[in-house]
Structure 1
Amino acid sequence: MDLRELDRRALLVLDKIVAAVTPADLTRPTPCAGWTLADLLRHQVSENHAFATAAREGSAPDWDAGELGDDAPGAYQASVDDFLDAFADDAVLARQLTINHFGTFPGPIAAHMHLVDTVAHGWDLARALGLPYEPDAEAVHVALKLAERIPDEGREQNNSFARSVEVPADASELDRFLALLGRDPAWTVS
């Protein structure tokens, strides 16, 4: 399966979640420590645009430049459109892309990294809003395979994810994925 198609399917799930966001929701806490829903959406907007720029140019000068303006769902949708447009070009799979402070990777690995971010933050958004999260099972499976390769060491230096947490051996693939990225699958808004 083309990672870009899996990411597109994962983004379609997020599109429905983000479309439900109201201005009053933007101050809600999220599973991302210290981040409100507005912070999380701005992060997603920043990442989507930066991945798009890296796909087109090889790197992006700023990975934290996302703006929500007065229309957070609209800003998010514009960033998704930018990302999907940039990654639709098959040439991106043959390019080397510099991804923020992580390094330079072949296009397919960069797409895999974006998929991990999409699946994880989709859950974060849904939890913050108290909505169900039903991501594409294949997208979760593929994201889990990359998450299993992310070492716990060094996460604090690059602000990627928290250290992994324990889950029962019979946990779902989504719960195992979330736990590997330092999220408690039982997290709810207090």
Structure 2
Amino acid sequence: MDFRELDRRALLVLDKIVAAATPADLARPTPCTGWTLADLLRHQVSENHAFAAAARDGSAPDWDGGDLGDDAYAAYQASVDDFLDAIADDAVLDRRLTINHFGTFPGTVALHMHLVDTVAHGWDLARTLGLPYEPDAEAVDAALRLAERIPAEGREVNGSFARRVDVPPDASELDRFLALLGRDPAWTLSRPR
């Protein structure tokens, strides 16, 4: 499975959500504890550019340097374009990429990690804005498979994941995925986790 295509599809879903955000929305709280929408978007911009640099050069010097400037959507779009351009070369699949705080991985694993981030933060963005979230089913399935492999003892490495949340056995794949990353699928602005 080529995670680049799944990630591209997931990013297309996010694009519509980010495009709907207004400057007034940037102060809204998100499901990511302590982060506003501006913080979350800056994180996404940072991650997209850093994964792009790692795809090109094997590692990235800065994983937290994203800047929204005067136009958060334009900054986000530029970061997505940078990421997609950097992963277009098939050689990235065999390259070893160093991912901040996590280690060095084959390109396919690193791209799978980016997909997890994209699917999870897509839900965060949609919930923050009160918009529906309809991610690509194959992308959710692939993200869930990686989330299932995150060991319980490593959940809070550098604050990347919260403790798992319990969901009913018949929960959807998306809800199971979110719960594995410590998100309450029932989160709304009026009901933070």
CA distance in 2, matches of 1:139, 1:37: 23
* 2:21 maps to 1:21: yes
- Map residues 23-172 of structure 1 onto 2, 5 A cutoff: 23-172=23-172
**SS in structure 2 at match of 1:18:** helix
CA distance in 2, matches of 1:155, 1:168: 21
Aligned-CA RMSD value: 0.7
Give the letter aligned to residue 39 of structure 1. D
TM-score by length of 1: 0.99
CA distance in 1, matches of 2:158, 2:87: 25
Residue 136 of structure 1, CA deviation: 0.1
CA distance in 1, matches of 2:154, 2:139: 26
Give the letter aligned to residue 20 of structure 2. A
Residue 173 of structure 1, CA deviation: 0.1
Q: In the TM superposition, what whole-angstrom CA distance separates every residue of 1:43-98 from its partner, at most 9, and x where no partner exists?
A: 00000000000000000011000000000000000000000000011010110000
**SS in structure 2 at match of 1:113:** helix
Residue 7 of structure 1, CA deviation: 0.3
Give the letter aligned to residue 3 of structure 1. F
Residue 155 of structure 1, CA deviation: 3.0
CA distance in 1, matches of 2:134, 2:183: 17
CA distance in 2, matches of 1:154, 1:174: 21
Write out the 4+ residue segments of structure 1 that deviate beyond 6 Å after TM superposition: none
Give the letter aligned to residue 30 of structure 1. T
Residue 42 of structure 1, CA deviation: 0.2
Residue 156 of structure 1, CA deviation: 2.7
Residue 152 of structure 1, CA deviation: 2.5
Q: Which moved more, 1:152-161 or 1:32-41?
A: 152-161
CA distance in 1, matches of 2:153, 2:20: 36
**SS in structure 2 at match of 1:141:** helix
CA distance in 2, matches of 1:96, 1:109: 9
Q: In the TM superposition, what whole-angstrom CA distance separates every residue of 1:97-121 from its partner, at most 9, and x where no partner exists?
A: 0000100000000000000000000
**SS in structure 2 at match of 1:153:** helix
Residue 161 of structure 1, CA deviation: 1.1
Residue 154 of structure 1, CA deviation: 3.1
Give the letter aligned to residue 166 of structure 2. E
What are the ranges of 5 or more consecutive residues in structure 1 without an aligned counterpart? none
Residue 2 of structure 1, CA deviation: 1.0
CA distance in 1, matches of 2:42, 2:152: 25
